[in-house]
Amino acid sequence: MLVDESAATTKQSKEPAMIKDVFKLVEGYPRVPITVDCVIFGFDQNVLKVLLIRSDIEMFRGKWSLLGDFAHDDEELDGAAYRVLQSRTGMEDVYLEQVKTFSNPKRHPGGRVLTVAYCSLLNTEHHALKILDNELHWHAVKNLQKEDMAFDHKEILDTCHAWLQKRMMEHPLGLTLLPEKFSLRELQNLYEGVLDVKLDRRNFRKKFFSMDFLIDTGEYEDDVPHRPGRLYRFDYKKYEHNKRKWTGIEF
Amino acid sequence: MLVDESAATTKQSKEPAMIKDVFKLVEGYPRVPITVDCVIFGFDQNVLKVLLIRSDIEMFRGKWSLLGDFAHDDEELDGAAYRVLQSRTGMEDVYLEQVKTFSNPKRHPGGRVLTVAYCSLLNTEHHALKILDNELHWHAVKNLQKEDMAFDHKEILDTCHAWLQKRMMEHPLGLTLLPEKFSLRELQNLYEGVLDVKLDRRNFRKKFFSMDFLIDTGEYEDDVPHRPGRLYRFDYKKYEHNKRKWTGIEF
DNA sequence: TCAAAAGTGTTCATTATACACCCATGA
DNA sequence: TCATGGGTGTATAATGAACACTTTTGA
């Protein structure tokens, strides 16, 4: 019923033919075009946004597309995603993580193309868009319909959005979406906006203060039409050091 | 600083050249061989095991390899992984989920080959191995060293093991590793074995009973050299129905 | 002085943790 | 009768959830 390890080892006598030429082996594999698609989230005006361009493909005229490109020869996919991000937005030092590979053979009208989706988060204030080809701009995530987007990009976006919601409960990822100095109100708006929930203000503060990852800058908001809030920075070093003990945020 | 949506829309006048021939577009993309690799976990004798074969590649002689194959033309990767699982083990109706894509250009000695890792869980008792080519057998996960495995398969295994540990806290995945009827001791052994922790027996029972997903079969263990434990089944229907409310298991 | 959001504590309910004894079975 | 693990409850600590008033600022 179950093959014991020692039993398996003794059967080594009838050894199958070994493959000697690995290059020839790989030659024989079918090949598939690979792209990366970046789902780049930003947070602005208390709304979760995603960076899109107009598709330059005739049959998707007017539809929105994620930033993507095919993978170059001998390029690692993380590198390809980073290249896309940099070349299309001019931004550097950006959080980027692989989320999922989409392989439906019909997902690209020009034939089978695999795509590996990456999720990225950045601060719309501190990262000005330098290149504006193809109407590159921030688009509110909530308003996007499947029909508005090229390829299976709505599905990819939804997958990455769900991924972000989950991940934001486990790691303080979301903080990369905020300016370096932020008020607790902004932080709460971020969590409420991304998770699409309402949270109790006092409990939210308590929760974050008890994590002890916020550094009080001593500064205050400016230009607000009400009492200005304190500004905090996130203590990334402390977080990196303690993250093993940290099991996440729960609301 | 930030491009407003309406502003972007008005720029539509200077439209770039549109791509009409999508087939020609895809033709121009570089192509890469794609494989799937299945990390198939089993649980036996209170030990987490993984299903491996001997590599049939000369330069990896004697090393262990995950079950994998290249993706066929127009084959979705989920399908390819399932095909690998079925053709190599004869098993059906198996849990299978995509985990991560590995793209290091040096990961395959025969040239660049992307691989998409899938994780699968099955019950070693109920799924007898039907095909035993290449010494297909269960190998204890703990004892495997990087040098024992072909390609980057140790890295893939580690990634999937970490994934499983995390996922088992969020979903009762692990139950597919057990026989249909199981005792609470077996269930606890499973959690302890996969997560590599010790748990309090009374609290573990309370936790699982309070989730209310266990159905008492009224039957008892047999052939045990001590008082036999009650056997339970997992109420998958109830779980499916309630899983939105369910936020996971925590120890 | 008004509007708007900042800042702040307590109570109650729930959940996690730690811990020890008797029971049923096979050998 | 003994060894082995099955089965059970309680007390304490920690955490989450609900909730209202005063303060500060700009308009």
Q: Which residue of A has its CA nearest to B35?
A: A29
Partner A contacted by B147 (CB < 8 A): no
- Residue from the list A3, A31, A137 with its beta carbon closest to the beta carbon of B129: A3
Q: How far is CA B187 from CA B175, B179, B192, B246, in A?
A: 8, 10, 9, 19
Instruction: Tell me the pLDDT tens digit for each residue of A171-229.
Output: 998 999 999 999 999 999 999 999 999 999 999 999 999 999 999 999 999 989 999 99
Question: For residues A3 and B171, which has the higher predicted lDDT (pLDDT)?
Answer: B171
Q: Which residue of B has its CA nearest to A51?
A: B3
Residues 202-241 of A with CB under 7 A from strand D: 202-203, 207, 224-228
As a whole number, mean pLDDT of residues A35-48 equals 95
Task: Give me the pLDDT at residue B10, please.
Answer: 43
Partner A contacted by B128 (CB < 8 A): yes
Q: How far is CA B129 from CA A128, B35, B41, B95, B126, in A?
A: 57, 23, 13, 16, 9
Residues ≥6 apart with Cβ < 8 Å to A246 = A211, A239
Chain B residues in contact with A133 (beta carbon < 8 A):
16
Partner A contacted by B13 (CB < 8 A): no
Nucleotides of C under 7 A from a protein CB: 3-10, 16-20, 23-27
Residue entry with tokens 């921030």: A138
Burial B89-119 (b: 16+ CB within 10 A, else e): bebeebebbbbbbbbbbebbebbbbbbbbbb
Between CA B201 and CA A227 the distance in angstroms is 53
Beta pairing partners, B42? B49, B122
Name the closest residue (CA) to the C1' of nucleotide D24.
A227
Helix (H) or strand (E) run with residue A97 in it: strand A95-102
Question: Residue A234: is its pLDDT beyond 90?
Answer: yes
Nucleic strand D near CB of residue B245 (< 7 Å):
no
Task: Give me the pLDDT at residue A73, please.
Answer: 95
Task: Give me the pLDDT at residue B126, please.
Answer: 66
Q: How confident is the model at residue B135 (pLDDT cuts 50, 70, 90)?
A: confident
CA–centroid distance for B76 within its chain: 17
Strands B31-44 and B114-122: parallel
Q: At what angle do helices B184-195 and B201-211 cross, to 10 degrees?
A: 110
Chain B residues in contact with A76 (beta carbon < 8 A):
103-105
Contact B18 A58 (CB under 8 A): yes
Chosen for mutation from A59, A77, A103, A129 (greatest number of chain B CBs closer than 10 Å) is A103
Chosen for mutation from B12, B14, B25, B139 (greatest number of chain A CBs closer than 10 Å) is B25
For residues A148 and A63, the answer to whether their CB atoms sit within 8 Å is yes
Question: Residue B13: is its pLDDT beyond 90?
Answer: no
Q: Say whether A165 sits in a helix, a strand or coil.
A: helix
Residues 32-71, chain A: which have Cβ within 8 Å of B? 32-35, 44, 54, 56-59, 61, 70-71
- Residue from the list A24, A72, A101 with its beta carbon closest to the beta carbon of B77: A101
**What mean pLDDT, rounded, does chain A reach?**
90
Chain A residues in contact with B125 (beta carbon < 8 A):
1-2
Question: Residue A127: is its pLDDT beyond 70?
Answer: no
Task: Give me the pLDDT at residue A93, please.
Answer: 81
Contact B111 A23 (CB under 8 A): yes
For residues B52 and B84, the answer to whether their CB atoms sit within 8 Å is no
Q: How far is the CA of A229 from the C1' of D26 (A)?
A: 14
Question: Residue A251: is its pLDDT beyond 60?
Answer: yes
Strands A47-54 and A64-65: antiparallel
Task: Give me the pLDDT at residue B4, please.
Answer: 43
CB atoms within 10 A of CB B57: 20
Residues in chain A: 251
Task: Give me the pLDDT at residue A241, please.
Answer: 86
Question: Residue A12: is its pLDDT beyond 60?
Answer: no
What single letter denotes the amino acid at residue B25?
L
Nucleotides of D under 7 A from a protein CB: 3-10, 16-20, 23-27
Residues in chain B: 251
Task: Give me the pLDDT at residue A13, please.
Answer: 45
Instruction: Tell me the pLDDT tens digit for each residue of A43-82.
Output: 998 999 999 999 999 999 999 999 999 999 999 999 999 9
Beta-carbon pairs below 8 A across chains A and B = 190
Give the least confident one: A90-94, A135-139, A206-210, A222-226.
Answer: A90-94
**What mean pLDDT, rounded, does chain B reach?**
90
Question: Residue B77: is its pLDDT beyond 60?
Answer: yes
